[in-house]
Every structure is written in structure tokens, then in C-alpha cells.
């Protein structure tokens, strides 16, 4: 049995859909907070198990001996360490065969705040003694393309990242396909994969691609990090999250999200999705 936690989130949903196309549905289970949100998976024959990262007792029956588990990292920054530990503890108690974890590109070398909880989780997983796979996901295309209409309305792409800095992003679907590949094949135990796109692009190139596809002006507007933080807070973003996002721009400036190991393309057996395609999809969804 293959078990996916957080299966109704953006990434988890894509992983489950990929698994349905690869293995019999009777071999798939999902762990979710709200069974109603996973109803369509249940209707297809996927086993739906209800548990909450914030409630360790609810995780007691979430896993079975010999299962392969994908721990999709939580989305609540600041709460993820205890949440992840609860899942790892439950998986260990159940004697699962493998636990794969969606971490962050660079692992221990990622010295920015968004990476901290991932690093603590990685260490806890390694110390647990469970057979593991670290899926160190880089940046998603969708972080920039999911709301292009609003960005275009603003008249510019605003960032505090330094000129010339690059991002080797890939689509969320690419990262989901990598997880599916690991969960449905052998030989991945106790391995770490640095997952990123085939190409590292600059924000000027991103801007030019949006302009090419829309015919609209979309210049890059570079401002200091503290100014960007203030803008995000003024738009209603919690200050701790604004600080983290400004920290990501600083990490981009230092090349920490530009690494290209080739691991992602190797796992999925094809080139990663180009930025131009992500821009097209983002515009079509706007």
C-alpha cells in the first residue's frame, strides 16, 4: 500500500492523481483532515483515512506495517516541526517500509528561514531509523504564475532579489511526478534527491516571456527587502510570512534556488516543464 498524507493540498492531489494512473487504486490510501475533501478519491476506490498532523493520537491508525508513505510537508509555517514529528513517530510505530518527505532544495545548505523547519524534520527523520527518501523540492513555477492577472494589473513584477539572480524552478506537476516515481519503483531507500528545473531563469527573462505572450509591458521592479516586506504586510500578509518571503528573495540573490542537479528530470524520465509553458497555463487560468 502507498499512503499519501496531505492528499487534498495542491501537491498531494497531483501525487494521488499520478498514483491512480500508475497502480491499482486498491493499493493507494490517503491521510486527510477532512474526509469530504477526499470524497472523489474515495469514489474511485482509494482508501481514505482521517487524521490530523496537529493531533498525534489521530495518527495512531494512519499507517500499517510495510507501507510506503509520502509525508507532504505541512503548509503552516511555524507549526511544521511538531506536525512532521507526529507523522514520523506514527510511521515508525507502524513499522512502515519507507517514508518519503518533501523537503527543500539544498537541505542542510539552505540557510534561509523557510528551510529551517525542513532541516529539523530531515534530521528527525534520519535519527528515527526509518528507511527514508528526501525529496528536496526547489521552487515552483506556480509561485510566480498562479496569479499573473493580478501581477499584470499591478503594472510590474516586484522583487527584492538582486539583478542577474536566477531560479531553477519547475512545475508542481513535475515535483508530484518525481514523488510518484519514487513511490512506485525500487532502489530509492536512504537517498536524497535535489529536485529543480532543467533551466535557471532570471526575472528579466520571466518578464520578457510574460510580455511576449501578452503584449503588455511587465517590467521588473526591484526594491529593498524591507520595502517589499512593508508592501506585503500592507496587503494583509502576516509579518512573519512577509519576512520569510523576503528571505527567499535574498536566498535567490545568493544562488540558493538556482542549483540544477538533473535529479528531477531523471526521476520523471523527461525534461522538466519550461517556464514558458507555466506562463501560458497561468495566463489561461487568469
Domain that holds residue 130: 2-137
Residue 157 is predicted with a pLDDT of: 93
Secondary structure (3-state) at 155: coil
| Domain membership flag for residue 189 | no
- Cβ-contact 182, 19 below 8 angstroms: no
| Domain membership flag for residue 144 | no
Q: What's the pTM?
A: 0.96
| Domain membership flag for residue 265 | no
| Domain membership flag for residue 219 | no
| Domain membership flag for residue 225 | no
CATH number of the domain residue 17 falls in: 3.40.50.720
Name, in order, each residue with C-beta under 8 angstroms of 76's C-beta and a sequence gap of 6 or more: 83
Q: What's the farthest any 2 CA atoms get from each other in the chain?
A: 57
Tally the domains of the chain: 1
Task: Name the H helices within the chain.
Answer: 10-20, 39-43, 80-94, 113-128, 142-145, 148-154, 172-183, 203-214, 225-234, 239-253, 263-268, 275-285
- Cβ-contact 235, 174 below 8 angstroms: no
| Domain membership flag for residue 55 | yes
The cell for 57 is: 493520537
Nearest-CA neighbor of 106 among 39, 196, 191, 28?
Answer: 196
Residue 76 is predicted with a pLDDT of: 85
Q: How far apart are CA 137 and CA 80, in angstroms?
A: 16
The cell for 95 is: 513499522
| Domain membership flag for residue 220 | no
Give average pLDDT by consecutive 10-residue segment, the chain, 286 residues. 96 98 97 96 97 95 97 90 98 98 96 95 98 98 91 92 96 98 97 98 97 96 96 93 95 97 98 97 88
Residue 151 is predicted with a pLDDT of: 87
| Domain membership flag for residue 86 | yes
Residue 82 is predicted with a pLDDT of: 97
Amino acid at each position: 500500500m502507498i499512503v499519501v498524507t496531505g492528499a487534498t493540498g495542491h501537491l498531494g492531489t497531483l501525487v494521488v492523481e499520478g498514483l491512480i494512473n500508475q497502480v491499482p487504486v486498491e493499493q493507494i490510501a490517503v491521510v486527510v483532515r477532512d474526509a469530504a475533501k477526499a470524497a472523489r478519491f474515495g469514489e474511485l476506490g482509494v482508501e481514505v483515512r482521517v487524521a490530523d498532523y496537529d493531533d498525534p493520537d489521530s495518527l495512531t491508525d494512519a499507517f500499517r506495517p510495510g507501507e510506503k508513505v509520502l509525508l507532504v510537508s505541512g503548509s503552516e509555517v511555524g507549526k511544521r516541526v511538531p506536525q512532521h514529528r507526529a507523522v514520523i513517530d506514527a510511521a515508525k510505530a507502524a513499522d512502515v517500509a519507507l517514508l518519503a518527505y518533501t523537503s527543500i532544495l539544498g537541505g542542510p545548505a539552505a540557510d534561509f528561514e523557510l528551510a529551517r523547519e525542513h532541516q529539523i524534520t530531515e534530521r528527525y527523520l534520519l535519527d528515527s531509523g526509518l528507511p527514508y527518501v528526501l525529496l528536496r523540492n526547489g521552487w515552483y513555477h506556480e509561485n510566480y504564475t498562479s496569479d499573473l492577472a493580478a501581477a499584470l494589473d499591478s503594472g510590474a513584477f516586484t522583487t527584492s532579489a538582486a539583478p542577474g539572480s536566477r531560479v531553477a524552478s519547475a512545475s508542481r506537476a513535475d515535483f508530484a511526478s518525481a514523488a510518484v516515481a519514487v513511490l512506485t519503483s525500487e532502489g530509492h531507500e536512504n537517498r536524497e534527491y535535489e529536485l529543480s528545473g532543467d533551466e535557471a531563469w532570471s526575472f528579466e527573462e520571466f518578464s520578457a516571456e510574460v510580455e511576449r505572450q501578452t503584449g503588455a509591458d511587465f517590467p521588473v521592479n526591484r526594491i529593498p527587502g524591507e520595502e517589499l516586506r512593508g508592501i506585503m504586510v500592507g496587503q494583509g500578509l502576516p509579518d512573519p510570512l512577509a519576512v520569510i518571503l523576503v528571505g527567499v528573495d535574498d536566498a535567490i540573490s545568493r544562488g540558493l534556488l538556482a542549483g540544477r542537479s538533473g535529479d528531477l528530470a531523471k526521476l520523471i524520465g523527461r525534461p522538466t516543464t519550461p517556464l514558458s509553458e507555466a506562463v501560458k497555463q497561468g495566463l489561461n487560468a487568469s
